[in-house]
Chain A
Amino acid sequence: MSRAATTVGESRSLHRFANPARFVRIADAVYPWALAGMAVSFLIGLYLALFASPADYQQGDTVRIMYVHVPAAWMALFVYATMAAGSASYLIWRHPLGVVAAKAAAPVGAVFTFLALATGSLWGKPMWGTWWVWDARLTSVLILFFLYLGYIALMNAFENAERGQKAASLLCLVGVVNLPIIKFSVDWWNTLHQPASVSRIGTPAIHESMLWPLGLMALAFTLYFLVVLITRMKSELLGARLRALGAAAAEGR
């Protein structure tokens, strides 16, 4: 906020909470670089993943699903961690941008999670012969997906937007505490119910020819997240501004 407003009267200038000019400046500076980086890494990453990299000696071309699946699964967790950080900064330091970021990130994270589930299922059909198995990892990702949906539903369930923001932020933090417990319990449950023979497929040493496309795709996904996050945050902030102006106009002040 400007000096002038401060001198006019800090106490009466309540709208400074809705004027994150500094964020917008930084975001505008970062945006073109992120967009360009995303385009480049997507192009090269997809080329390497779909054409240049070798087929797996066991899995054949099916392995190429992994170049989408693995980064999507990473992003599913990464986005949730971002949301948790934003929610914490909002609840603890009352930083309004934290919740704006978390709110903007939630649908993106939900889509990444869905993508991870869908590609996992597509991969599972030829590998396991079925679209869905109650594999420990799949099950805990499914629960993560429901946590995302719960967050979004709670955020939008209140007439008073601020209530929704606070309640959803709290839920997000509770989810962080619970995620490891859920993951751990699902692992445990899984090993109880089926002997550990099938789940050995997952982790062979990755060859360099596969590591490159994987890394590039992960970079592309991260930059995509950043681009969408900035766009969504800016539109959310403009929306809040618009509502404040509208409310003021309606009151004729």
Chain B
Amino acid sequence: MTGPSFHRPVPLRPMPVFEAHDLGCLRGERAVFAGLSFRLQAGGLLLLTGPNGAGKSSLLRMLAGLLRPAAGGLTWDGAEVWDDLGAHHERLRYLGHGEAVKPPLTVAEDLRFWASLRGAGPAEVDRALERFALSGLAGRPGRLLSAGQKRRLALARVTLGPAALWLLDEPTVGLDAASVERLAAAVAEHRARRGMAAIATHIGFPGEDAQVLAVDDFPPIPVEAEALEEGAW
């Protein structure tokens, strides 16, 4: 897939649907959210909002198949995601808090490694470099990159290889205005190819027709009420 594919959208799958039903999340002994549902269609953008500690990152990790929901289910085209985690991992790209940049590896080496895992060719590596204005830094080792440059490298990695679902955790943090624009363009192009994206953000993200999901709208039942109700203790 070389060159801009704006004019000739290539559908990844006919019309995939990604759905969450009544998700519940426990972190340690604390219930974070419960009863959370959404439905994301091909080309859709889901913005996860909410204050710190509402569970945006936890939700994104659930969607990424890293964290098993304490309750509820996640389906892709009606099939439970946890029944075939490998297939789910194949179709998604995840950006977490860590940039996974290795100090001794150059930017190009880093991208080439992940490209080889994802089955992407050298052309895609070049394109990813260009897309996030990293071409000039291709030979620079990770230890000499600034925080924003590391973030751009991590974002460039997301664009490698075809993927139906992008999951980005606070992708704009540490980015300058120009880089945010580049990211927004990349997400728009991904959506134009019928890809979906779920983005956790507390400052908003530029994108058309975004579904907004406020994670703090789904609080769990307070523990006192439940304890009173059950009366077992």
Q: Do A and B bind each other?
A: yes
If A161-B29, A162-B28, A244-B29 touch, whether A12 touches B230 (CB-CB below 8 Å) is no
Interface residues of A in 219-253 (CB under 8 A from B): 240-241, 243-245, 247-249, 253
A160 contact set on B, CB distance < 8 A? 27-28
Asked if B232 contacts A2 (CB within 8 A), the reply is yes
Q: What's the Cα separation between A247 and B28 when bound, in Å?
A: 11
Asked if B221 contacts A8 (CB within 8 A), the reply is yes
Asked if A2 contacts B231 (CB within 8 A), the reply is yes
If A4-B229, A5-B229, A5-B230 touch, whether A11 touches B223 (CB-CB below 8 Å) is no
Q: What's the Cα separation between A15 and B222 when bound, in Å?
A: 9
Interface residues on B, range: 20 to 34
Asked if B230 contacts A11 (CB within 8 A), the reply is no
Question: Nearest CB to that of A9 among chain B residues?
Answer: B35
Asked if A11 contacts B233 (CB within 8 A), the reply is no
A240 contact set on B, CB distance < 8 A? 29
CB of A192 within 8 A of chain B?
no
B207 contact set on A, CB distance < 8 A? none
CB of B24 within 8 A of chain A?
yes
In whole Å, how far is A5's beta carbon from the nearest beta carbon of chain B? 6
Interface residues of B in 206-233 (CB under 8 A from A): 219-224, 226-227, 229-233
Interface residues of A in 1-60 (CB under 8 A from B): 1-2, 4-5, 8-15, 17-19, 21, 24
On chain A, the number of residues with a Cβ less than 8 Å from chain B's Cβ atoms is: 29
B231 contact set on A, CB distance < 8 A? 2
**Which of B31, B70, B226, B232 has the most C-beta atoms of chain A within 10 angstroms of its own C-beta?**
B226
B226 contact set on A, CB distance < 8 A? 5, 13, 15
Q: What's the Cα separation between A17 and B219 when bound, in Å?
A: 17
Q: What's the Cα separation between A10 and B22 when bound, in Å?
A: 9
Q: What's the Cα separation between A126 and B150 when bound, in Å?
A: 69
If A4-B229, A11-B35, A11-B71 touch, whether A247 touches B222 (CB-CB below 8 Å) is no
Asked if A2 contacts B34 (CB within 8 A), the reply is no
In whole Å, how far is A166's beta carbon from the nearest beta carbon of chain B? 12
CB of B26 within 8 A of chain A?
yes
Q: Which residues of B are at the interface with A, using a C-beta cutoff of 8 A?
A: 22, 24, 26-31, 34-35, 70-72, 219-224, 226-227, 229-233
B229 contact set on A, CB distance < 8 A? 2, 4-5, 8
A19 contact set on B, CB distance < 8 A? 230, 232-233
Q: Which of B220, B224, B230 contacts A14 (CB 8 A)?
A: B220
Question: Nearest CB to that of B31 among chain A residues?
Answer: A14
Asked if A12 contacts B224 (CB within 8 A), the reply is no
Q: Which of A21, A243, A247 contacts B230 (CB 8 A)?
A: A21
Q: What's the Cα separation between A248 and B219 when bound, in Å?
A: 12
If A245-B223, A247-B29 touch, whether A11 touches B22 (CB-CB below 8 Å) is yes
Asked if A14 contacts B26 (CB within 8 A), the reply is yes
Question: Nearest CB to that of A20 among chain B residues?
Answer: B232
Q: What's the Cα separation between A227 and B217 when bound, in Å?
A: 45
Q: What's the Cα separation between A37 and B7 when bound, in Å?
A: 82
Q: What's the Cα separation between A241 and B232 when bound, in Å?
A: 12
Q: What's the Cα separation between A10 and B73 when bound, in Å?
A: 13
Identify 17 new A-B residue pairs, CB closer than 8 A, beyond the known A12-B221, A14-B221, A17-B70. A2-B229, A2-B230, A4-B230, A8-B221, A11-B22, A11-B35, A11-B72, A12-B34, A14-B34, A14-B70, A15-B221, A19-B232, A21-B232, A241-B227, A241-B233, A245-B227, A247-B30
In whole Å, how far is B152's beta carbon from the nearest beta carbon of chain A? 31
Q: What's the Cα separation between A243 and B31 when bound, in Å?
A: 12
In whole Å, how far is B180's beta carbon from the nearest beta carbon of chain A? 33
Q: What's the Cα separation between A80 and B108 when bound, in Å?
A: 51
B-facing mask of A170-192, CB < 8 A → 1, else 0? 00000000000000000000000
Asked if A12 contacts B232 (CB within 8 A), the reply is no
A14 contact set on B, CB distance < 8 A? 24, 26, 31, 34, 70-71, 220-221
A4 contact set on B, CB distance < 8 A? 229-230
Q: What are 5 A-B pairs at a CB distance below 8 A?
A: A5-B229, A14-B220, A19-B232, A244-B29, A248-B222
In whole Å, how far is A169's beta carbon from the nearest beta carbon of chain B? 16
A161 contact set on B, CB distance < 8 A? 28-29
Q: Which of A11, A21, A243, A248 contacts B224 (CB 8 A)?
A: A248
**5 A-B pairs with the lowest CB-CB distances in the bound complex, closest first:** A21-B232, A11-B22, A12-B34, A248-B223, A14-B31
